[in-house]
């Protein structure tokens, strides 16, 4: 649990700096905007999402409903429903991207290439295909 505490403290410190800057640079549409406040802070939502990616669960719904809400509810007493959490995730996406961008590792130079042959176009569409004009032929794929 220490790692969750460390993630939360780091994310919360970031949000305290980021959110005033973000709100200052938003362009107003001229309409009166209603900002619905949540019981969860954006730093809590971001912490839950980062913990999901470190958990090994394959989908967020199972992680949130079956694991997080059952075992870690005492750390986040104001948890919201799954559908509300999805809305909150959308709202915190700019902050999450800004938080994660400088924390990415440097590229190692190791890449993986999928060598599955893909058909360039269906044989019936060859005469009107614009992207591969002159290249598209019958039986021609991305592998040659």
pLDDT for 21: 86
Count CB neighbours of 111 within 10 A: 6
pLDDT for 46: 94
Nearest by Cα to 94 from 22, 34, 25, 44: 22
Pick the range with the lowest mean pLDDT from 47-51, 96-100, 106-110, 121-125: 121-125
User: What is the domain partition of the chain in residue ranges?
Assistant: 2-103, 107-144
Phi-psi region of 109 (alpha: psi -120 to 50; beta: other; left: phi over 0): left
pLDDT for 103: 84
pLDDT for 97: 92
**Which tokens belong to 67?**
């694991």
pLDDT in tens, 64-77: 999 998 988 888 88
pLDDT in tens, 115-126: 666 565 666 766
pLDDT for 72: 87
**119 pairs with which residues across the strands?**
141
Is the model more confident about 110 or about 27?
110
Stated pTM of the model: 0.67
Which sign does the torsion angle of CA 10, 11, 12, 18 carry? positive
Distance CA 18, CA 2 (A): 24
Contact 43, 15 (CB under 8 A): yes
Distance CA 116, CA 129 (A): 22
Which residues lie below 8 Å from residue 139, measured CB to CB, with a gap of 6+? none
Q: 112 by DSSP, 3-state: which?
A: coil
């Amino acid at each position: 649990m220490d790692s969750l505490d460390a993630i939360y403290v780091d994310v919360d410190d970031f949000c305290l700096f980021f959110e005033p800057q973000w709100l200052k640079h938003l362009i107003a549409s001229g309409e009166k905007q209603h900002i619905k406040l949540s019981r969860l802070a954006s730093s809590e939502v971001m912490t839950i999402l980062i913990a999901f990616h470190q958990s090994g669960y394959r989908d967020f719904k199972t992680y949130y409903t079956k694991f997080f809400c059952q075992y870690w509810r005492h750390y986040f007493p104001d948890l919201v429903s799954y559908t509300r959490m999805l809305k909150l995730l959308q709202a915190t996406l700019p902050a999450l991207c800004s938080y994660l961008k400088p924390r990415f590792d440097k590229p190692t130079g190791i890449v993986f290439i999928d060598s599955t042959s893909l058909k360039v176009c269906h044989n019936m569409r060859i005469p009107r295909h614009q992207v591969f004009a002159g290249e598209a032929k019958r039986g021609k794929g991305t592998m040659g």
